[in-house]
Amino acid sequence: MAEKDNLPVVVIGLGRFGSSIALELTRLGTEVLAIDHRSKVVQSLAGELTQIVTADSTDLQALKQLGVPDFYRAVVAIGSDIEASILTTSLLVELGVENIWAKAISRQHGRILERIGANHVVLPEHDMGERVAHLVSGRMLDYVQIDENYVLAKTRPPREVVGVPLGETNLRRKHGVTIVSVKPKGEQYTYATEETVLQYDDLILVAGPTNKVERFTDL
């Protein structure tokens, strides 16, 4: 049996979000079954996705006929039709799909999806808005939320950690964050160690709880 990471994925809903996922998975070599109820959308993507069908994902029998119960992973990327999103997700749970990713357009929508069995809920617009806000504020050069209250941020080192081996800065004890990687000017990223000595023009990747990383980048 194939490793679960290599198993096919069913992607339901082929708007900008869903089609991007389906196309990128295909590029990465993952077999994808793409489903959308709009025939025009399916026709427009038919040349780029090998398995793409027009079907109503809220129809249990249609999902069975397409072999959806045989899939281990599914993405429900349905956009503004909350009712279809919820019903489709519940049908996937009923059909025994083990690993379900679902797009939500609000936190309330996301909570409902979690309650009915979605393993992973994604709020792309909210998450992107949060990320852009941190970048616009000027404190961070990039920002990725890893978990609900844990982030990875790209920034410049504050004065107090420049010119001193990281092992002597007591960074984790004082600020509750960890510098995991450093990119000296003109070089590639490398792992940060206790012996690493930072310079002002280095780029660093800082990991830790959201509020602590924010405070650290404000130093």
Average pLDDT over residues 65-69: 97
What pTM did the predictor assign? 0.70
Percentage, residues of the chain above pLDDT 90: 68
Least confident range from 43-57, 75-89, 147-161: namely: 147-161
pLDDT-derived band at 90, boundaries 50, 70, 90: very high
- Neighbouring C-alpha atoms within 13 Å toward the C-beta of 72: 10
Distance separating alpha carbons of residues 183 and 126, to the nearest angstrom: 29
Per-residue confidence (pLDDT) for residue 72, from 0 to 100: 94
Asked if pLDDT for residue 2 goes beyond 60, the answer is no
Average pLDDT over residues 107-132: 86
Label the pairing between strands 99-103 and 178-183. Answer: unpaired
Can you list the pairs that 56-65 forms with residues at least 24 positions away whose Cβ atoms lie under 8 Å? Answer: 57/12, 57/13, 57/84, 57/88, 57/91, 58/84, 58/87, 58/88, 58/91, 60/91, 60/94, 60/95, 63/91, 63/92, 63/95, 64/95
Phi, psi of 15 (to 5 degrees): -75, -160
pLDDT confidence bin for 134, thresholds 50/70/90: low
Strands 142-147 and 178-183: unpaired
Residue 15 burial by CB count (10 A; 0-12/13-18/19+): exposed, middle or buried? middle
pLDDT at res. 4: 60
Q: How far apart are CA 10 and CA 89, in angstroms?
A: 12
The pLDDT-based confidence of 22 (bands split at 50, 70, 90) is very high
pLDDT above 70 for 3: no
pLDDT tens readout for residues 145-185:
787 788 888 999 999 999 999 999 989 899 999 999 999 98
Alpha helices (H) in 75-155, listed in sequence order: 82-94, 107-116, 124-136
Instruction: Please state, rounded to an integer, the average pLDDT across all residues of the chain.
Output: 90
Q: Do 154 and 140 contact (CB within 8 A), yes or no?
A: yes
Domains, the chain, ordered by start: 6-122 (3.40.50.720), 127-217 (3.30.70.1450)
pLDDT at 138: 64
pLDDT at 133 over 80: no
pLDDT at 1 over 50: no
The mean per-residue pLDDT over the stretch 37-61 comes to: 95
- Cα 8 from chain centre: 18
- Residue that has been written with the tokens 């797009």 in this structure: 103
Q: How large is the average pLDDT for residues 48-75? A: 96
Between 61 and 50, residue with greater pLDDT: 61
